[in-house]
Structure 1
Amino acid sequence: MERVPNYLIRSLYTLLIFVFSVLNLQGQIRIKGKVVDATTKEAITTASIKCEENNTGASTDKSGNFQLLIQKQTSEIFVSALGYHDKRVKIDSGVAYVEIALEHTNFQIEAVEVNRKKKYNNRNPATELIELVIKNRSLNKLEKKDSLYYEEYEKLKFGLLDPKRIFKKSDKDLAFFYSNVDSGVVDDKEALSIFMFESISDNYVQQNPARTKKIIKAEEKTEFDSRYINNANIESFMGYMFQPIDIYEESVYFINKQFLSPIASNAKMYYKYYVKDTIRTAQDIYVRLQFEPRNPTDLLFKGELAISMDGRYAVKSATLQLDEKANVSWVNDLRLRLSYYKDASGVMLQDTTDITVLFGRKTRDALFGRRTSVNRKYDLSNIPPGNVFSGAPIEKRLSPTFTLQGNRPVELSASEQNTYTNMDSLNNISSVRTIMALGYLVSQGYYSLGKVELGPLEYLYHQNEVEGNRIRIGGRTTAAFSEKVYLEGYMAYGLADREFKYNLRTAISLNGKPVTTFPAHYVEALVQHDIFEPGKGLGFLKGDSFFRSFRSNRPTKFLNTDAYRLGHLIEFGNHISLSSQMTVQRRNPIGNLQFALSADSTQFLNTINTSDLQFALRWAPNEKFYYRNLTRNTIIERYPVFTLQYNKGLKEFLGGDYNYDALRFSVSKRLFLNQLGFGDVTVSAGKIWGTLPYPLLEMPNIQEIKDRHSISYERVNSMEFVADQFLKFSYNHKLNGFLLNKIPLVKKLKWRELFGARMFWGDLSAKNNPYLSKDVVYFDKDDEGKIMTNVMGKEPYWEGYVGLDNIFRVLRVQYYVRMTYNEIKEPIKDRFRFSLHFSF
């Protein structure tokens, strides 16, 4: 069964835990209201409401509603919104609801009837206008300016909807759940924030050469108990799910999906457009367009655009909403609102973005997420400092003198302010700590003891042909032990071979920073005594988990290995890393594995000793990742990852028996194909020079690898192929329901198509072929006397799969087939694979 992604599990159990938020407020009254346009009576979103007498504030939601906690003696509130005149409103202590009308600059509306009863005409005034918008899109795209600066305020919130429904029983200990709710997120529903992050940053964009830089100068965020929750991962996850939106991109990437922009190059193929009305201001004329998907089940939006008629045809504002029939799971509603203003030169500058998503099942909302950002202080002729682009594209340079207090463009509501202060109290509740410890054990497999944590739970028991029942106890240190020194290891015992195995690894920081964070710089050392499949590398997680005991192609041949490694890694701000390692290994075959000499089959090679020097260069531009200790999982976006590795075998150095050279190169990338979904492609190639026994050559990896930049195979037998020059290829595609969405009735199931293929091709030189060379060892045989390893012909090995995802919202079914080399005696048969998979 495929493991549910750790970051998703962390998010889910965090929600269950932090359902317990904030403290009672006394001596205050709650006032609700709505801010509307004085002329059109339409709601004004992201208006700011501030009570200056007690320094509290709030902002309006997508329907113009707000909720504000004020002191009983308050007499006045201040209301402001971009494009409207500020207004002060007198408040009577007995007033519970107030509607506030703001005056816009002088404008007139010319109404135009929107008629959907007639057959839609692909050539109408609306589509002609969209053609002009698309034609001028590159000119209006802000990031295409030669040099640009702006300051950005960003606020991310995540939490529960209607917490009273979840906690029906009245409990004095949980009374604070009900007093810190916010009604400004969703209409007619109370929201309870359990995560919040704010930041103010300086942003620089340059075209020649193309570079971007974001410098965070002030931030504030909720902090959970770090023993169980990696706060940096939650921040990364939320930032990934709620990425900045640019209407001028071909697609809007959101909640791990790609939605076609209504002004994309091919948008007219997927959207219908209607002219709604015309807005005339004292300076400009804007046309409002409504749009809707031709096929509501596709990943498309419906909504409204306001287009300037000054010859630039730029977007003045955009409202985008997910169609309720779209093939998206766990999301009941998604709304995006973008606002732009025209500067003195006539360029439209994005000032406000508001994104709200409601998570739930069918019509029942359970969770919400919201991202609000405000851009200001634009400078389109900015000359950035010479060194501003050095280092990582996103850096934190927090200033002790510049804080969020007093610099927020939109004031926090009282409930938002209390979200921060109550997290410390929540972390100290014993019942919460117990739930968190249980959730951490389930999701990560470790039980925390503070400075040390025991695990992983999945590796406690394993079964194989040599050890029989294998029992393993492991653990690792945490930041409470040290942020600059890291240790992990295990002890294992096989009940059949009655042998102890062990592993110990340590890493020590060299740059005075935590060893786990980016950019890292550390030295590491490893010592390991254990049994390995031929062709497998060293590691703390070496494939001996509980679930690997039951795989159909589990190995029967092993090498008893003693290994010692000393390494060094340094990362640079541009996400280039350089690592070096010196590894000494002593291997001897155990069980029924034998290495008969090709010169004399009656003689056997009893040990394989190597001294290996390795250098690896890795470039992952703009990489983001989740991490825990030294383990990192890349957040896959559109950027590729390149790796170049060189190994040198040193004969007669520290007991090494072989001279060899090996060069390996790999690249992986996600291809976004708009409505056709996306595909993940990985290519790897390499060559090994030297005369070596075949366990030191390249074999297809049959161990399931969780690193998406590597390739593993489902239908290959252990040790089935070997090569000293090779090419690997992997492609996995998700259509996101593009075909099934077109089939009546089937589209209601919201299934999604999967397909993929993997290839291995390799060649074995004559000097390493035991049937042509007298200097190596013969391939071993199975219990029936059949040779287990093959030299490949001109045809590569191929396997593929097709599948369905999102069955019952949680199940994935794949059918794997082996497409070549079926003439080999008893190849692994084709099979179905069922796995749990949560995806939006």
Structure 2
Amino acid sequence: MFFQIITLNRNVVHPVLFVLMTFFSLKSLGQTSVKGVIKDKFTGQPIPAVSISFSGIGGGTISDKDGFFQIRISKTIKSLVFSAVGYKKLQYSISVKESPYLNIELDESSNNLDGVSIVGAKKPKYRNKNNEAVELIRQVIEHRDKNRNKQDSTVVFNQYEKLNMSLNMGAKEISTSSFLRKFPFLISTADTIKLPGRALIPLFMRERLTMRQETKDHLDDKSVMLNEKQSRFDQAFDEDGIDEYLNHIYQHVDVYEHDIALGSQRFLSPISSLAPEFYKYFITDTIKGKVNVVRLAFSPRNKQDQLFMGEMLIPLDGNYAVSSVTLYLNKAININWVNDFQVTVGYKRDQKGQYYISQSTTAMDLGLFKGKHSLYGVRTLLTTDYRLGNKGVVFPAPKSLSQIKKSSNSFERPVSLSSIEINAYKNIDSLKESPRFKRFMRVTALVLTGFHKAGPVDIGPVSSFYSFNNVEGTRLRLSGRTNEDFSSKVILDAGVAYGLKDKEWKHSVGLIYSFKPEGVLQFPMNVITVRSSYETQIPGQDLSFIEEDNFLLSFKRGVDDKRLYNRKWTAEYFRELESHISFRLGLRSQGLTPAGGLIFQPESGAPAVRKLQLSELTSELRWAPKEQFYQGKRFRRLIKNGYPVFSLRASAAFKGFLQGDYSFQNVSLNIFKRLYLAPFGYSDVIVEGGMIFGKVPFPLLAIHKANQTYSYQIQSYNLMNFMEFMSDKYANINIDHSLNGLVLNKMPLIKKLQLREVFSLKVLYGGISPKNKPENDSELYRFATNKEGVQTSFGLGKTPYVEGSVGLSNIFKLLRVDYVRRFTYLDNPNVSKSGIRARIHLDF
């Protein structure tokens, strides 16, 4: 008996394949062709992974993520059987006059079982034992490292990448969209075929040709961009930073890895050693040929678990290798911003019998709400000239940004572009010439970045033009900095602020000079910075004048009446290497004057000190292997990707040097690591330790970062008061864990909210040496007190400071709320034992 089953994704169909499908779908004698969509009868939602079989005949298929299925068989059949766990089995009779497109509705069953099973006369309970599909996948797992682990030799290859992003909206909205009416040329390029019922307006296109070298231990990996072509606005947005973030979202997908990255999430691979405990497997077809190929479907045992659904092809040639795999997401799971996702990866075999990725296509729909406007993107990777060894291979010198822009006009691609990809280039060129769009960009940039571009100067951030605190009262500020229109090698920034209560003017002025022609902030940076400022500061917080002063930080709990006036100037050299090792060397001089309720009162009872002078040499050595970051025009934000970040800092102050009052040395080491624990979420772990050598008064101790605002701060102690604890030696660990909805996704009704569980634990050990305690040295300053004279600053004893939190994230897709609890030092004055804290938390 010969039959053929074809399961297609109706959203992504190659034109040639479409013609072949149309030709072969013509009805002929003794042939049945059926396709359609399967939905929940009550909710109307598509049902993925429904098993469809022929009544009385072997074989079948499963529905895709949209509930779509298609079957063609060289037999005349009278009925189909539809079966899915949690739904009643349906036997559907096919009429001769049956419509070519079926709309199947399934009723929920009273037995709420999880998973998917292949339909037989009687649906048996799924088991791993004596299951041919599981036995096959265990062979694949056993041969995984042999087929595709780390290469035992160096490989060199070329890689072509193209990424297209389109505005995704309802097809019926095109004629009524106020945005499109302003730019009518976009309507003519809309694609209404790729996604049924939706219209894609192409807005972004990027192509890259890269030469790469990979080694077994990845210590000698190389990557040189040969050419790049992309549509760019070249206006207000930080497009280079957006490129890096898109790379983070559309990450490399390899089913042979233990887990697979999707943004900041990790999914257990269906051929991981743990996979049979979490996935179900079904043999849906065997494709006959010179070498028979098994089509193996898989789905989560629990449909709410953060796992993939899909199918893979396994040639029966004795290698037990995956030659192709398609992955998509169950709509029941909780992935922030991702409305839809599908990736197809194809593998080829090299001369040594190992498999490498020959091509992959990742399609993703990103949006705040499903069914509304979103961004639909497709990233394609194609590997060419794959060779073992690097003998005789010469890597070209890396091109500068200006060279890449010049050569983009002569871009030679190995495959042709689709019409939607060609239109992306055209649309951006047209938008760039539109005065209306330029105005729209300026307003959007102001909202997103807080800066207004006025020729060669960016004015902002507007969020800090007005704020308030107990020392300065109402605080008014105006600041800005030059942009690339002024110079690509020099950035000047300046700001002035005035407090209506203290009647003090503050200022900051700085200069950054780049030794590279490509720009100040282009990686790898090689810059020198000189800055002078007179500004208020919360002791131990070290807030930056330009970036950290924000209106929202004005709202604080408890008493906040202690400030420093800090008259400071710095000179610093910063250098980054291609290996993501960086170092900085600097000279800093500070004059610290107490303000508000803060007093520098010597223990001897001598008159209060009006100013503390500090002059020191500073240094930092940082290593961030495989680092990714969002590089904006005015800032850099780390993209957490699972690789550690090490930061070693050291400084030395000298008495008498630039009028410095004390000699001491300060050393600290900070290690950050994101730990992926698929399918149990991930943890962000920060470990830090430090020590101060020398005798110093309390303002020069390590004053631990406290938070008296109502926002949740990851690296601060959210129930510690400002200046409450200080040390000259300390060690701390900070663990912030997200379960990614592992529990809540299994709870009826609550799972519809797509909330995520988050937990944190912060433990701080520390202490003050006897030589730095005021009771042992009358020259040292008394610790800070409140208005009643009660001491409010302390050193840590044998008991560590401990606080923890439990909360929910992904509230409205962008908010995290924590209940925070403090466990130690509850008798200190004016402390809060618990509280509710919130923060904006955008996490793909």
TM-score (norm 2): 0.83
Equivalent in the alignment of 1:135:
142
Q: Is 1:613 the counterpart of 2:617 in the alignment?
A: yes
State the shift of 1:41 in Å: 7.7
Superposition RMSD in Å: 3.1
State the shift of 1:700 in Å: 1.2
Aligned partner of residue 323 in structure 2, secondary structure: strand
1:679–1:732 contact (8 Å) kept in structure 2 = yes
State the shift of 1:328 in Å: 2.3
Q: Which has the higher contact order (CA 8 A, sep 6+)?
A: 1
Question: One-letter code of the match for 2:302?
Answer: N
State which of 293, 296, 299 in structure 1 corresponds to 2:300.
293
1:142–1:349 contact (8 Å) kept in structure 2 = no
State the shift of 1:39 in Å: 9.4
State the shift of 1:375 in Å: 1.3
Q: Is 1:417 the counterpart of 2:422 in the alignment?
A: yes
Structure-to-structure mapping, 1:43-442, within 5 angstroms:
63-66=12-15, 112=59, 114-115=118-119, 117-123=123-129, 124-141=131-148, 143-162=150-169, 164-169=171-176, 174-183=183-192, 185-187=194-196, 189-207=198-216, 210-226=219-235, 228-282=236-290, 284-343=291-350, 346-360=353-367, 361-363=369-371, 366-383=374-391, 385=393, 407-442=412-447
State the shift of 1:188 in Å: 5.5
Q: Is 1:774 the counterpart of 2:778 in the alignment?
A: yes
Q: 2:539 & 2:171 partners in 1: Cα distance? A: 58
Comparing 575-584 with 173-182, which one deviates more in the overlay?
173-182
Distance 1:297 1:364, change over 3 A: farther
Q: 2:594 & 2:289 partners in 1: Cα distance? A: 84
State the shift of 1:274 in Å: 0.9
Q: 2:530 & 2:404 partners in 1: Cα distance? A: 37
Aligned partner of residue 253 in structure 2, secondary structure: coil
Question: One-letter code of the match for 2:244?
Answer: S
Question: One-letter code of the match for 1:518?
Answer: F
Question: One-letter code of the match for 1:270?
Answer: F
* Number of residue pairs matched by the alignment: 749
Q: Is 1:530 the counterpart of 2:519 in the alignment?
A: no
**Over residues 355-392 of structure 1, what are the superposed CA-to-partner deviations in whole Å (9 max), with x where a residue is unaligned?**
1122453455743111111112211244375888x99x
Distance 1:708 1:632, change over 3 A: farther
State the shift of 1:466 in Å: 1.6
Equivalent in the alignment of 1:76:
none
Equivalent in the alignment of 1:16:
none
**Over residues 507-530 of structure 1, what are the superposed CA-to-partner deviations in whole Å (9 max), with x where a residue is unaligned?**
111233311111111111010112
Q: 1:146 & 1:662 partners in 2: Cα distance? A: 45
Aligned partner of residue 658 in structure 2, secondary structure: coil
State the shift of 1:425 in Å: 2.6
Q: 1:401 & 1:539 partners in 2: Cα distance? A: 38
2:229–2:408 contact (8 Å) kept in structure 1 = no
Distance 1:174 1:397, change over 3 A: closer
Aligned partner of residue 676 in structure 1, secondary structure: coil
Distance 1:402 1:608, change over 3 A: closer
State the shift of 1:603 in Å: 2.7
Structure 2 portions without partners, runs of 5+: 26-56, 61-117
Question: One-letter code of the match for 1:643?
Answer: S
Q: Is 1:674 the counterpart of 2:678 in the alignment?
A: yes
**Over residues 469-504 of structure 1, what are the superposed CA-to-partner deviations in whole Å (9 max), with x where a residue is unaligned?**
110101111111111001112100011111110001
Question: One-letter code of the match for 1:640?
Answer: P
Q: 1:275 & 1:574 partners in 2: Cα distance? A: 46
State the shift of 1:708 in Å: 13
State which of 511, 514, 535 in structure 2 corresponds to 1:509.
514
Aligned partner of residue 307 in structure 1, secondary structure: strand
Question: One-letter code of the match for 1:135?
Answer: E
Distance 1:543 1:402, change over 3 A: closer
Aligned partner of residue 126 in structure 1, secondary structure: helix
Q: 1:403 & 1:440 partners in 2: Cα distance? A: 27
Q: Is 1:828 the counterpart of 2:839 in the alignment?
A: no
Q: Is 1:665 the counterpart of 2:669 in the alignment?
A: yes
Q: 2:543 & 2:465 partners in 1: Cα distance? A: 19
Equivalent in the alignment of 1:94:
none
Comparing 542-551 with 785-794, which one deviates more in the overlay?
542-551
Aligned partner of residue 424 in structure 2, secondary structure: helix
State which of 479, 484, 487 in structure 2 corresponds to 1:479.
484
Comparing 143-152 with 166-175, which one deviates more in the overlay?
166-175
1:701–1:712 contact (8 Å) kept in structure 2 = yes
Q: 1:404 & 1:287 partners in 2: Cα distance? A: 45
TM-score (norm 1): 0.83
State which of 666, 688, 691 in structure 1 corresponds to 2:692.
688
**Over residues 416-459 of structure 1, what are the superposed CA-to-partner deviations in whole Å (9 max), with x where a residue is unaligned?**
22321331331232222222222222221111112101111111
Aligned partner of residue 159 in structure 1, secondary structure: strand
1:445–1:457 contact (8 Å) kept in structure 2 = yes
Equivalent in the alignment of 2:106:
none
Distance 1:591 1:804, change over 3 A: closer
Structure-to-structure mapping, 1:25-40, within 5 angstroms:
40=4
Distance 1:746 1:629, change over 3 A: closer
1:358–1:365 contact (8 Å) kept in structure 2 = no
State the shift of 1:230 in Å: 1.1
Structure-to-structure mapping, 1:392-791, within 5 angstroms:
407-537=412-542, 539-541=544-546, 543-553=548-558, 555-598=560-603, 600-629=604-633, 631-703=635-707, 711-791=715-795
Distance 1:330 1:512, change over 3 A: closer
1:489–1:540 contact (8 Å) kept in structure 2 = no
2:556–2:709 contact (8 Å) kept in structure 1 = no
1:711–1:728 contact (8 Å) kept in structure 2 = no
**Over residues 101-126 of structure 1, what are the superposed CA-to-partner deviations in whole Å (9 max), with x where a residue is unaligned?**
9xxxxxxxx97564372211212011
Distance 1:511 1:798, change over 3 A: same
State the shift of 1:412 in Å: 0.7
**Identity across aligned pairs (percent)?**
32
**Over residues 179-232 of structure 1, what are the superposed CA-to-partner deviations in whole Å (9 max), with x where a residue is unaligned?**
112356434543221111111111211126643222221211110143x10110
Distance 1:526 1:707, change over 3 A: farther
Q: 2:765 & 2:515 partners in 1: Cα distance? A: 41
Comparing 699-708 with 266-275, which one deviates more in the overlay?
699-708
Distance 1:159 1:387, change over 3 A: closer
Question: One-letter code of the match for 1:340?
Answer: Y
1:199–1:404 contact (8 Å) kept in structure 2 = no
Question: One-letter code of the match for 2:701?
Answer: L
Equivalent in the alignment of 2:104:
none
Aligned partner of residue 674 in structure 1, secondary structure: coil
State the shift of 1:137 in Å: 1.1
